[in-house]
Chain A
Amino acid sequence: MHHVTLDQWSRGASVLHRRDPRVKIAAVLMFLVVLATAHRELAWLGAALFTVLCVAARQARLPLRGALARAGVVLPFTAVFAGVSWLAGDPARGAVLVMKSYLSALAVLLLVSTTPLPALLRGFEMTGAPRFLLMVAQFLYRYLFVISEEAQHMRKAALARGATVGGLAGNAARFRAAAGALAVLFARSYGRAEEIHRAMLARSFPGYFRPLIELHLHGGDVIFLVLGVVTPVALRVLIERAA
């Protein structure tokens, strides 16, 4: 599963893994903005930024091929629009869509696979995102695995009862059965949330997560921040000047 692999990758100990999440967020945002606002010499710029990302992935000791393949999850969606642009007589625009969306996804993938999600969300919190929302996101991620597994079990049970055997039940009956299964999943999730809440109250949850590690900017983080912010800007300026 995609998120399980990324979660494993994010537990590494490379130079990139050790950087403060805030400087990584800043570097990725800068990268995305430079890419999104570029309109000239896109082929060269794309190639240069792609090289930067590949170097970063190597530094993070991530399997390069795996990372490149995983960033391809955006391609089916993008390919549809690239095809449509091509039909509308603008193949260049289609190519730009593919390039920009793929490189953006790769940059975000690098961020997520070098930063464990709790640290990443903590980084976002310190940049001003609402804490309540981030806590909801963190719970969501934590229980994603649990509830998904429950849904898988229900699906398997339904299949074992012949849910997909044609002719056994009409479409309407199967539709109602699926709705019933979903309602049961809803009720179980709700019940589980209440249990979690009681357990947290029993452990005197203060209303926010106490961070285990305080974030501090070190010298390495500052150097990374400067490098991460300057590199994409400098590349773009150089390439556009050279043209």
Chain B
Amino acid sequence: MHIPDGFLSTPVWAALDAAAAPVVGYVVRVAQRGFDEAKVPLLGVMGAFVFAAQMINFPVGIGTSGHLVGGALLACTLGPAAACVVMSAILAIQALVFQDGGILALGANVINMAILGVLAGYLPYHLWGRSRGRRAAIFAGGALSVAVSAVLALAELLISGVRMPAAVLGVSLALFLVSALIEGAITMTVIGALEAIQPNFVRQPAAGGRYALVAVGLAAVLLAAGGVVVASRAPDGIAQLAIQTGISGRARTLVSTPFKDYQASWLGAGWPAQAAAGLVGLALVGGVSVLIWRKR
């Protein structure tokens, strides 16, 4: 989900731009260590591959089709840092040439999809990629990469004050879950096919160490799980802040709605129900992963 300009409130886009700049700088340095500078065509061409991969449709039943998003696939083949760089380059080209995603929102999109999405997608493979549950880990990685980026984007929109009725929020979370499962299945099948062509396309995860990677990946998953819960309560927090700082008059049209006190009808009231919905989603991804594990 590419956020265009004009959707995020100033504190959100400014903070995420400020966060993305050093993070991308760091990731580029790590990637350069693994790939000398002359190998830059590999990353560029693989970015073009991810673009082109969208043309190949995967049938997912009842007349619909999905396509590869690619974060987890790149992380398993090029390594997490290089995958972050490739995804950042893709987002930059999409924002500039295709007007898909904003320029001020580029920091947000990079953090959601190129950094946290990719690292969350690599986390299961890093942890269990050497065990018997390798295929399940790849599936979970693909699913997590899409789920984490989508939910983070949604949370940022909600924090920015974009209002969503509970039903719409529920439907979009359900859609995210479905597309996450599709991405998991696509990533797993494509990696299987790749290994049949040439096994060394897929990197073995480094044994042990890399605590920072595990920490960031875990943090991304937790952020996403907690994000919607916090965000769905946050607009009121922002309204409170606006009143305190005296800009409420100015921002009235942006943060107040006639339905201020409405309650989520079918999700139930308050955060426990929403948190439960998030946990059910995670459990579903986990359940399918376990099924794949068993099937081997």
A28, B135: Cα distance in complex, Å: 46
Is B7 part of the binding interface, using a Cβ–Cβ cutoff of 8 Å?
Answer: yes
Which residue in B32, B43, B103 is a CB contact (below 8 Å) of A108? B103
Docked Cα-Cα span, A92 to B41, in Å, equals 47
Q: Which residues of B contact A117 (CB under 8 A)?
A: 96-97
* B37 with A87: CB separation less than 8 A: no
**Do A32 and B59 have beta carbons less than 8 Å apart?**
no
Q: Is A161 an interface residue (CB 8 A)?
A: no
The answer to whether the Cβ of A216 comes within 8 Å of any Cβ in the partner chain is no
Any A CB within 8 A of the CB of B222: no
| CA of A25 to CA of B200, assembled, Å | 42
**From residue B102, how far is it (CB to closest CB) to chain A in Å?**
6
Cross-interface CB contact of B6 among A36, A135, A143, A200, cutoff 8 Å: A36
A141, B38: Cβ atoms closer than 8 Å:
no
* A63 CB, min distance to chain B CBs, angstroms: 17
Contact (A147, B45) CB under 8 Å given A90-B257, A135-B40, A179-B192: yes
**Contact assessment for B56 and A137 in the assembled complex, using a CB-CB cutoff below 8 Å:** no
Chain A residues positioned under 8 Å from B46 (CB to CB): 189-190, 193
Check B52 against A151 for contact (C-beta < 8 Å).
Answer: yes
Residues of B within 8 A of A39 (CB): 250-251, 253-254
A6 touches B38 (CB 8 A): no
- How far, in whole Å, are A71 and B5 apart by their CA atoms in the complex? 12
Judge whether A178 and B40 touch: CB under 8 Å: no
Kindly list chain A residues whose C-beta atoms are within 8 Å of the C-beta of B259: 88-89
Docked Cα-Cα span, A144 to B47, in Å, equals 8
- On chain A, the residues within 8 Å of B210 by CB distance are none
What number of B residues sit within 8 Å (CB to CB) of A?
A: 79
**In the complex, A120 has a CB within 8 A of chain B:** yes
Which chain B residue lies CB-closest to A70?
A: B99
The answer to whether A151 touches B55 (Cβ under 8 A) is yes
Tell which of B31, B43, B53, B97 touches A139, judged by Cβ atoms closer than 8 Å.
B43
9-residue interface stretch from B81-89, B118-126, B265-273, B279-287: B81-89
Contact of A171 among B51, B56, B59 (CB under 8 A): B59
One digit per residue, 1 when the CB lies within 8 angstroms of any chain A CB and 0 when it does not, for chain B 94-129 equals 011111101110000000000000000000000000
Chain B, interface SS category: helix
B10 neighbours in A (Cβ, 8 Å):
36-37
Pairwise interchain contact B40-A174, C-beta atoms closer than 8 A: no
Residues from chain A with Cβ under 8 Å of B52 in the complex? 144, 147-148, 150-151, 185, 189
In the assembled complex, which residues on chain A have CB atoms less than 8 Å from the CB atom of B97? 2-3, 6, 112, 117, 141
1/0 per position for A61-86, CB-CB distance to B under 8 A? 00000000011011001100100110
A178 close to B99 (CB less than 8 A): no
The answer to whether the Cβ of A136 comes within 8 Å of any Cβ in the partner chain is yes
For A179, give its contact among B28, B31, B51, B186 (CB under 8 Å): B186
Closest residue on chain A to residue B6 by CB atoms = A100
Q: Which of A34-78 contact B (CB under 8 A)?
A: 35-37, 39-40, 70-71, 73-74, 77-78
The minimal Cβ–Cβ distance linking A233 to chain B, given in whole angstroms, is: 16
Chain B nearest CB, measured from A169 CB (Å): 10
In the bound complex, residues from chain A placing their C-beta under 8 Å from that of B68 are: 182
B237 contacts partner chain A, Cβ-Cβ < 8 Å? no
A157 to B83, CA, bound (A): 30
Distance between A115 CB and nearest chain B CB, rounded to angstroms:
10
Give the interface centre of B38, B57, B99, B161 by most chain A CB atoms within 10 Å: B99
Q: Which 6 A-B pairs have the closest CB atoms?
A: A139-B44, A100-B6, A104-B5, A183-B193, A140-B47, A179-B189
Tell me the B residues contacting A by CB distance below 8 Å. 2, 4-8, 10, 13, 24-25, 28, 31-32, 37-49, 51-53, 55-61, 68, 77, 85-86, 88-90, 92-93, 95-100, 102-104, 157, 161-165, 168, 185-186, 189-190, 192-194, 196-198, 201, 250-251, 253-254, 257-259
With A73-B99, A193-B44 given, can you name 12 additional A-B contacts, CB distance below 8 Å?
Answer: A36-B6, A78-B6, A84-B168, A104-B6, A130-B24, A146-B48, A178-B56, A178-B59, A183-B197, A185-B56, A194-B42, A207-B38
